[in-house]
Amino acid sequence: MRAIFIALAVLSALLGPFATGVRAAANLDSSYLFESAYLNNLREGDTSTLVVFFQNTGAMDWVSNTATQVNLATCLDDKVTCNVAPKNFNWNPGTWLSTTAYATQAKADVAPGDFTSFSYQIKVPVNTVPGTYRFNGDLVAAATGTVIHPEGYYQEATVISAAAQAPTDLGAVVTDTNGIGGVNDVKVTWTAPARNTANGYEVQRRNSPCPQDPADAAFFNLATVTVQPAQPGTYVDVDRPNGQYCYQTRVKDPATGAFAYSNQATATVTNSTTSVALTSTSAVLTRANDVAPGRLFSGDNFSITFTLALKLGSAASMRFADADCGPPASQAGPPAPCASGMSQTTGDVTCGMNSNCSLSLDSKTLMVTLTAPPVETAIGSTTGLQYPVTVISSSGITDAGGNPWDLNNSTDRVIGPLGQ
């Protein structure tokens, strides 16, 4: 009997006010950190796990199998009545700590400032009505059942009707379905569950990679696709800019209005030309004529490399301004400004008229051979187009989507002398 009294005295000293049922003093204290995602798409017999993390903010270690062990107790919906069997106790698959506690601390010793998880399983009972079910709890001292810091913790699980199930095989592939903008169309596919009576599948996208909370407001509807039970469903999200996207589908239960969500799939677009400017990154005179040295003239060859694959119109052309007023400040242009009384010569090079034009195998490099002199549109201070020459405008040179050459943002549009 004396040993029992001594043990009770030690326990009372450890727990302080816990022995009288008052809120914990600083010896044992806690702070909620975070929890696992709520559970969706559950059906009869499904078993899943809920996890919550708490930090030890008190002055004493939480030590398993001692007077300072901490449990996650069950509470009622009022969030203050704890250490009683919860309303949803029939969801206990037989693995809860007791009839009044979900779980104990995962770590055997949780020092002040450290944290630990509390995890427990739930199993959907037979004949459960579709809807959302809540599991309330709070941390208690295992020895007394006293709540050490009321937080009002809860997590939820949503049960769906067998008639409104979500697909489990959703996939997303990046392809080119319309010949516009490169490989940037995302094809989303799934199979409608065979038992569904609901057949409207909302295809949703979030502009970030998966996984994400399926009910996150950042998901938005792309389309509603009607798919009959056990049949394949398809949706193509066309012309996406480069980036990562998360896709899912959801089905609405007509009886309850609750949504069932599919699995999620990430699509990564890397070769889109949508929202990518067509700019030139290299412009080089590869062969110089010997008839009019120092000038853009018949017999000259030059090549221009672009960021995207090109599409040439029937009379693609470039207008050049020469260096009568001096060379440009950089390969990016523009032409040098002219002092008073001076002017630049400008002239056109047109594919099929005074030049032969061809594209590289990847269509990103334009190769030009002058078969006749440029057609001068303005006569400057010196006759002819003196090197270096700068492209100041173009026509019929676009990307596959028809977007024109963005000269102002190109890093190189200056050609000549030889090798430059």
Task: DSSP for 46-112, please give it.
Answer: -EEEEEEEEEE-SSS-EETTSTT-EEEEEE-TTSS-BSS--TTGGG--S-SSBTTEEEE-SSSEE-T
Average pLDDT over residues 304-318: 93
Q: What is the Cβ-side half-sphere exposure of residue 252, based on CA atoms within 13 angstroms?
A: 8
Given this model, what pLDDT does residue 195 score? 77
Residue 117 pLDDT greater than 80, yes or no: yes
Query: In DSSP terms, which residues pair with 136 in a beta bridge?
Result: 75, 154
Q: Say how many Å lie between the first and final Cα of the chain, rounded.
A: 100
Neighbours of 287 (CB within 10 A): 12
Tell me if 234 sits within 8 A of 247, measured CB to CB: no
Give the C-alpha distances (Å, rounded to integers) separating 26 from 98, 117, 286, 337: 27, 21, 80, 76
Given this model, what pLDDT does residue 7 score? 38
Residue 370 pLDDT greater than 90, yes or no: yes
Residue 4 pLDDT greater than 70, yes or no: no
**For residue range 221-268, what is the model confidence (pLDDT) as tens digits?**
999 999 999 999 999 999 998 899 999 999 988 777 878 899 999 999
Please state which of the ranges 19-23, 82-86, 160-164 shows the lowest mean pLDDT.
Answer: 19-23
Given this model, what pLDDT does residue 58 score? 95
| Residue whose tokens read 């062990």 | 69
Neighbours of 113 (CB within 10 A): 9
Cα-Cα-Cα-Cα torsion 265, 266, 271, 274, nearest 10 degrees, comes to 90
Tell me if 264 sits within 8 A of 205, measured CB to CB: no
Give the burial string for 85-101 (b: 16+ CB within 10 Å, else e).
Answer: ebebeebbeeebbeebb
Given this model, what pLDDT does residue 327 score? 95
Class of domain 2-159: mainly beta
Given this model, what pLDDT does residue 32 score? 96
Please state which of the ranges 89-98, 138-147, 159-168, 189-198 shows the lowest mean pLDDT.
Answer: 159-168
Let me know the angle formed at the C-alpha of 151 by 140 and 43, rounded to the nearest 5 degrees: 90
CATH code for residues 171-272: 2.60.40.10
What is d(CA 302, CA 369) in angstroms, rounded to the nearest whole number? Answer: 7
Please state which of the ranges 20-29, 159-168, 372-381 shows the lowest mean pLDDT.
Answer: 20-29
Average pLDDT over residues 150-174: 90
3-state secondary structure (DSSP) of residue 161: coil
Given this model, what pLDDT does residue 169 score? 96
**For residue range 9-45, what is the model confidence (pLDDT) as tens digits?**
334 444 443 333 334 446 999 999 999 999 988 888 8
Domains 2-159 and 171-272 equal at CATH topology level: yes
**For residue range 119-154, what is the model confidence (pLDDT) as tens digits?**
999 999 988 888 899 999 999 999 999 999 999 999
- In the chain, % of residues over pLDDT 70: 94
- Between 375 and 273, the more confident residue is 375
3-state secondary structure (DSSP) of residue 10: helix
Q: Where are the domains of the chain?
A: 2-159, 171-272, 280-415
Average pLDDT over residues 172-176: 96
